Amino acid sequence: MTTLAAPRPHPLLWPLMAAALVLGWSSGFVGIRYASQDAGVALLLFWRTLLSGLILLPFALLIGPRLRWRGVRDQALFGVASVFLYLGGFALAIGQRVPTGLVALIADLLPLAMVVLAQPVLGERLRPRQWLGTGIAVAGVLIVTADSLSVGSAPLWAYALTVGSMAVFAAASVVFRARRTDPMPVHQALCIHTLTGAVLFGLCAATQGSLMPPLTRTFGIGMVWLIGLGTFLAYGVYYGALRVWPVARVSAAIYLCPPVTMVWAWALFSEPLTWAMAVGVAVTLVGVWLCVRD
């Protein structure tokens, strides 16, 4: 009995999906920079996560396996790291005017950090090439950071916050993987993550004043941008691409986001864009490629 081979995707499908992925992923950073002009970071993220979670809630309840307490609890704990600490950390850094492209560069080193942390937590040994790639990538980030410090006005703690939030998310991801919890469909997990974030961001925003959103055009456009592009387009295309192409190829597209984010921030907000930043990004991309390629 012969089996039919799976149809090969159209040659133009990958370039189109890669472009959509880069657009959606980078828009999350740029959208926060845009919308934070009219609202504090906590209030902005409260409404972003609340609306995203409420849109997903009917699908999470009606489509997929029945939600059980243990799964909801585990995903909520992971949501604290993946949304509240990770998203909140780099959003606060952007709000303190750390260059948006640098924040994207550090945040997108998450897969590399997970590779490094997998050794002590999961016992997965790193090859010499992966250690070399890690060192090169870190050197690239230091080049961009040094140049950003010379032209920027953000406090030093805001730069450290970006690195710390990325490291916390990477550690949580590796620990979550080590626990071997029951898998959950993406739309259900993302719903729990965002609603968990909404509760925590709401508490933070409430201590700073009202939870009412500013009724401005900038904030409204920012919400549509962040929810439509930064949440649903980015995650939808990412997980859809993983069903067709290898992880290495999909991850490679995400590593194109920092330079795209830098260009967006330069064009929209007149953030600095220097040759040193370009060199640092290129060095980082080489290091990441060495570390994550098969």
Least confident of 25-34, 159-168, 174-183, 253-262: 174-183
User: Average pLDDT of 42-50?
Assistant: 91
**Residue ranges per domain, the chain?**
21-292
pTM: 0.78
Distance in angstroms (rounded) separating the CA atoms of residues 67 and 223: 28
3-state secondary structure of 68: coil
- Rounded Cα distance between 80 and 88, Å, is 10
DSSP per-residue string spanning 147-208: HHHHH----HHHHHHHHHHHHHHHHHHHHHHHHTPPP--HHHHHHHHHHHHHHHHHHHHHTT
**Distance in angstroms (rounded) separating the CA atoms of residues 177 and 85:** 18
Percent of residues, the chain, with pLDDT higher than 90:
10
Render pLDDT for 93-152 as a digit per residue (tens, 0 to 9): 888 888 877 787 777 776 666 666 665 555 556 677 767 776 777 777 777 766 666 555
The mean pLDDT of 53-76, rounded to a whole number, is: 88
Cβ-based neighbours of 215, under 8 Å, separated by 6 or more: none
pLDDT at 46: 93
- Stronger pLDDT, 1 or 241, i.e. the higher one: 241
How confident is the model at residue 4, as a pLDDT? Answer: 46
Tokens of 278: 């370009």
What one-character-per-residue DSSP string does 224-253 give? Answer: HIIIIIIIIIHHHHHHHHHTTS-HHHHHHH
- The pLDDT, as a whole number, for residue 190 is 87
Pick from 45, 26, 49: which is nearest to 35 by CA? 45
pLDDT for residue 6 is more than 80: no
pLDDT tier for residue 7 given thresholds of 50, 70 and 90: low
The type of residue at 5 is A
155-189, pLDDT tens digit by residue?
778 888 888 888 887 777 777 666 666 677 888 88
Measured distance CA(14)–CA(25) in Å, rounded? 16
Give the highest mean pLDDT range of 5-9, 155-159, 192-196: 192-196
Over residues 263-293, the pLDDT tens digits come to 888 887 777 777 777 787 788 777 766 765 6
pLDDT at 1 over 50: no
Higher-confidence residue: 107 or 68? Answer: 68
> Averaging pLDDT over each range in 47-51, 74-78, 225-229, 236-240, which range is the top one?
47-51
